[in-house]
Copies of this chain bind each other. A is one copy, B any other.
Amino acid sequence: MEVTNRYVAIRHRIEGAPTEADFEVKEQTTRWSPDSGERIVSYAVGEVVASASPEYAAGDMVAGVLGWEDYTLFKPSPTAHMSKVDASAGFPLSYHIGVLGTSGMTAYGGLFEVCKPVKGEKVFVSAAAGSIGSLVGQFAKLAGCYVVGCAGTKAKVDLLKDKLGFDDAFNYKEEPDLKSALKRYFPNGIDIYFDNVGGEMLEAALANMNIYGRVAVCGVISEYTGAGRPAVPDMLGVIYKRITIRGIYAWDFMPKRFAEFYGVISDWIRQGKVQVIEDVSDGLENVPAAFVELFTGQNVGKKLVKLA
């Protein structure tokens, strides 16, 4: 099958925060042997248009590692994390790479398997209006916890409090001293910190943590671009308070726990207990701009680009 495939390529090595100018849209006919040095991949949901594998048939919907392109040649392998989407469940396709995909697995597994919340515990979530943070906060509320989130705009803070049911939320950009800010929001200390940002926020959360506190480290967005300085955690505090810090990753919970997590989360969505926040751009040419938004904090909820 011959197609004209448009794909997003990197123009040059990116230093610091990415900009749209770092990318370009290229075009190729029958791109069945992708140049792996040039091709960019991410989690995506797509339709099988042709298949030489008995596992997949044209018309199947799949979610997994696909290219930033109109057509991806996909060879079945464990590292592609490809799975068929259960279209009969009736959820929007996008949910299968968000709340019912990597974002949901990371939030659910990180919170329940790693942090083990107990009713009444105090939970802090950074980047709380992001794809994972927005779910962690809602899941923690469903576990009976007191939940405070932080985000970088007033609109996001309002969303957390008004729509997602967080007990409180604040704009970290308006807080000159993160340690005192957290002391204000958690006068009795933090039991669980779901860390999406790293850097100074991690230090401040550790300083406000209670004994036996748990930190799930999910992202270090403040450090990715070199804009923020890396965290210098107070390890003596970690010892005295017997804090656990653990790195988490969605695929640790898949495929083993996938069905279980999927079942719980999809029930919560159906029952209206979890709100799914998506931020959708349109068209392949807008993939670079959408990607850049992740580093400037413009997206609200799961950032997605609709190609077809």
Contact = CB atoms under 8 A, between A and B. Distances in A.
Interface of A: 198, 202, 217-220, 223-224, 230-249, 252
Contacts of A235: 198, 202, 217, 220, 223, 230-231, 247
Given A230-B235, A232-B232, A235-B223, A245 B246 contact: yes
A242 B245 CA distance: 10
Nearest to A252: B242
A184 to B, nearest CB: 25
A196 to B, nearest CB: 10
B238 A218 contact: no
Nearest to A244: B246
A195 to B, nearest CB: 8
Nearest to A199: B235
Nearest to A195: B235
A244 B241 CA distance: 15
7 contacts: A231-B232, A240-B249, A242-B247, A242-B248, A244-B246, A244-B247, A245-B246
A218 to B, nearest CB: 7
A211 to B, nearest CB: 9
B252 A239 contact: no
Nearest to A242: B247
Contacts of A198: 235-236
A220 B237 CA distance: 10
A8 to B, nearest CB: 24
Contact of A219 (B219, B224, B239): B239
A4 to B, nearest CB: 36
